[in-house]
Amino acid sequence: MNIKEKFGIKVKELREQKGFSIEYLANISNVDRTYISDIEKGKRNVSIEIAEKIIIALDTDFGAFFNDNNFKK
């Protein structure tokens, strides 16, 4: 699994835990909903700026987001 897929899985996992739709996450993060959908599918190479918007909208921080077994080798 590549980093884009790992990132997307984590975004989807947190979004679903919070009960957010893709549309709602798009609205609160100011990121297009189709872009978020593509991120969750591992199809997008996400910039650090977009990652920050999504991570903040999911009410977490970079440390907590990336401190996950999915991101470890």
3-state SS record for the chain: CCHHHHHHHHHHHHHHHCCCCHHHHHHHHCCCHHHHHHHHCCCCCCCHHHHHHHHHHCCCCHHHHHCCHHHCC
Per the structure, how many domains does the chain have?
Answer: 1
Please write the tens of the pLDDT for every residue from 48-61.
Answer: 999 999 999 999 99
Residue 47's domain spans which residues?
3-63
Residue 45: inside a domain: yes
State pTM to two decimals. Answer: 0.90
Residue 37: inside a domain: yes
Residue 59: inside a domain: yes
- The CATH number assigned to the domain holding 31 equals 1.10.260.40
What is the reported pLDDT for 19? 97
Residue 73: inside a domain: no
Please write the tens of the pLDDT for every residue from 11-45.
Answer: 999 999 999 999 999 999 999 999 999 999 999 99
Residue 72: inside a domain: no
